[in-house]
Amino acid sequence: MLPRGGVLQGLIAGISGAIGYGLGVVAAFVWRAFADREARPAARRSWQVLAVAAVVLFGVAFGLGQYWQHEIRGLMGVTDYNALTTVACPFVAVLVFWLLLLAGRGLRRLYRWAARLLGRWVGEKAAKAVGWILVAALAWSAFSGVLLAGIVNAANEAFSLRDTKTPEGVHQPVSPLRSGGPGSLVPWDTLGYQGRAFTGSGPTAAQIGAFTHRAAQEPVRAYAGLETADDTERRAERAVADLQRAGGFERANLLVMTTTGSGWVDPAAVDSFEYLADGDTASVALQYSYLPSWLSYLVDQSKAREAGRELFDAVYGVWSKLPQDHRPRLFVAGESLGSFGGEAAFSGEYDLRNRTAGTLFAGPPNFNTLFREFSDHREPGSPEIEPVYREGRTVRFTDDPATAIPPADRPWDGTRVLYLMHPSDPIVWWSPNLAFSEPDWISETPGSDVLGSMVWIPFVTFWQVTADLPFSTGVPDGHGHTYKAAYVDGWDAVMRPAGFTPQDLERLKEIVSPPE
């Protein structure tokens, strides 16, 4: 789905080759078991046929792969191309394949040793069966219990050290309207790396006024980091208490932002919200993990759900007790795993409609509960990449909010819930179901930045989309898992602010997502 460099493609091809080889070995083993015969040495002619087929198929596959990569780069406007790494691709693939093959044969030797040892006390067939079970259990335990846990723990330690630092160019706020600033209930050194980036940056009243040519206010930003309190509920309470202290509930617009794993908030998401509301805003967020988004995506889903629910409930608990004519408009937003956590506070369409003034979710993971409900129950004939749910009365989907959001011919009154999702975003489309069944988004007309020649192949498609996940943000804005300029038009659709022309929105896009 995404452009790849030669080394990365070689790594993926090597792993793919090893998986295919392993499946072939298993299939041959099963066949021999049914045929009731031992393996026989391959004939010389078989080796010759294999050699010729391998050369021809390699040439065809490599050529098509490079052509498709060229086409993908063209769709996304990617101009980087390194011929040297492209040449290195097959060599990297062979090296990775060989290393994995050696690991697999090591496990086979371990199995044979275990079977011989067990054969002293039980029958041959039982010894082999138990030997396979023992080796498989050992390998899985080593991966899931030792290797995977070790990777997660090492990553947690590494990112916890980073969390003590402050981003370059960010300084402690001098405004009492920010967490970590004068009078704040949340100390600056407890905000974490991303929390300090959130409260120590953002547009000022002067910058907003220079854009709108109207009087503007200084936005309120509240945040709680992992070091702010021991558990999620208390962090949410501290963040909301600081929001209340700074006058956040007295603003016209209040945004509850569920972060990604490390506590990151896309600056474009909040900056756009603040510019379009003349700074008459308050935003609140909290951190629930040290891990980056893609790793939290795999291991911290429950923390994201808890954070989204606790933060919104804490805000709603204060907001709902205010007089109706003195409440700010309450908005919810989240990107990636943040959208997963943001959804957790709501039971469905009516709950979103009744308890918010608007919602904007970007790049929702495929396992999002509400996202799946809305998409799976879409109107017949509407595509999965842009589904229509219940005539679009509340919930709508788009990859480009600057255009008419379908169904454009039907009313979109009251609360608006908008999902931004690019056809090329692997976070949105990745699912374990890809391994065994073809999804609608492949069988239907492809999106604007997805190759029309893409087809579904059992397991292969699942593995290829999986391989894209860690690199989903390494593409230009407007593709993959990169949503920046889209927030301007997205918030314009959800908030419906007055006084902004299409030209104003284009200028704002250049501010929140400067061209590189």
Residues 444-455 pLDDT 10s:
998 889 998 889
Contacts 24+ apart (CB under 8 A), 312-317: 312/256, 312/258, 312/342, 312/345, 313/236, 313/345, 314/233, 314/236, 314/237, 314/239, 314/240, 315/240, 315/243, 315/254, 315/256, 315/284, 316/345, 316/355, 317/240
Q: Within a 10 A sphere around the Cβ of 59, how many other Cβ atoms?
A: 10
Arithmetic mean of pLDDT, 354-376:
96
- According to DSSP, the residues that pair with 221 across neighbouring strands are 178, 283
Residues 242-251 pLDDT 10s:
999 999 999 9
User: What are 475's two structure tokens?
Assistant: 């593409």
Measured CA to CA, the distance from residue 404 to residue 427 in angstroms comes to 24
Packed helices 232-245 and 301-319: angle between N→C axes, nearest 10 degrees = 40
- Comparing C-alpha atoms, which of 475, 480, 500, 472 is closest to residue 488? 500
Measured CA to CA, the distance from residue 362 to residue 505 in angstroms comes to 19
- Comparing C-alpha atoms, which of 254, 270, 403, 249 is closest to residue 321? 249
Residues 135-159 pLDDT 10s:
777 777 666 555 555 666 666 666 6
Arithmetic mean of pLDDT, 121-134:
78
Tell whether the model's pLDDT for residue 353 goes beyond 90: yes
Q: At 361, is the secondary structure helix, strand, or coil? A: strand
Is residue 293 very low, low, confident or very high in pLDDT (cuts 50, 70, 90)?
A: low
What is the pLDDT, as a whole number, of residue 164? 80
Which one has a higher pLDDT value, 406 or 5? 406
Asked if 363 contacts 475 with a C-beta cutoff of 8 angstroms, the reply is no
Asked if 142 contacts 135 with a C-beta cutoff of 8 angstroms, the reply is no
Helix (H) or strand (E) run with residue 331 in it: strand 329-335
- Comparing C-alpha atoms, which of 83, 26, 90 is closest to residue 57? 90
Average per-residue pLDDT in the chain?
89
Lowest mean pLDDT, pick from 87-101, 216-230, 387-401: 87-101
| Amino acid making up residue 228 | T
Arithmetic mean of pLDDT, 49-65:
90
Upper half-sphere CA count for residue 423 (Cβ side, 13 Å) = 22
Tell whether the model's pLDDT for residue 162 goes beyond 80: no
In sequence order, which residues have a C-beta less than 8 Å from that of residue 274 and are 6 or more positions away? Answer: 202, 203, 208, 219, 281, 283
Alpha-helical regions (H) of 4-43: 6-35
- Comparing C-alpha atoms, which of 381, 237, 422, 260 is closest to residue 312? 237
Asked if 55 contacts 48 with a C-beta cutoff of 8 angstroms, the reply is no
- Comparing C-alpha atoms, which of 243, 275, 277 is closest to residue 257? 243
Dihedral over Cα of 175, 178, 180, 184: its sign: positive
User: What are 368's two structure tokens?
Assistant: 């999002």
In sequence order, which residues have a C-beta less than 8 Å from that of residue 405 and are 6 or more positions away? Answer: 392, 396, 397, 398, 412, 418, 493
Arithmetic mean of pLDDT, 271-277:
97
Measured CA to CA, the distance from residue 283 to residue 253 in angstroms comes to 9
What is the pLDDT, as a whole number, of residue 233? 95
Q: Is the peptide bond before 497 cis (omega within 30 degrees of 0)?
A: no
Tell whether the model's pLDDT for residue 292 goes beyond 60: yes
Which one has a higher pLDDT value, 263 or 253? 253
What does each C-alpha distance from 115 to 29, 128, 140, 141, 175 come to in angstroms? 16, 5, 18, 19, 71
Is residue 440 very low, low, confident or very high in pLDDT (cuts 50, 70, 90)?
A: very high
- According to DSSP, the residues that pair with 416 across neighbouring strands are 358
Q: pTM for the full model?
A: 0.88
Arithmetic mean of pLDDT, 320-331:
95
In sequence order, which residues have a C-beta less than 8 Å from that of residue 151 and are 6 or more positions away? Answer: none
What is the pLDDT, as a whole number, of residue 153? 63
Helix (H) or strand (E) run with residue 420 in it: strand 416-420
Tell whether the model's pLDDT for residue 474 goes beyond 90: no
Which one has a higher pLDDT value, 180 or 302? 180
Arithmetic mean of pLDDT, 83-112:
86
Tell whether the model's pLDDT for residue 355 goes beyond 70: yes
Q: Within a 10 A sphere around the Cβ of 489, how many other Cβ atoms?
A: 23
- Comparing C-alpha atoms, which of 296, 171, 149 is closest to residue 226? 296
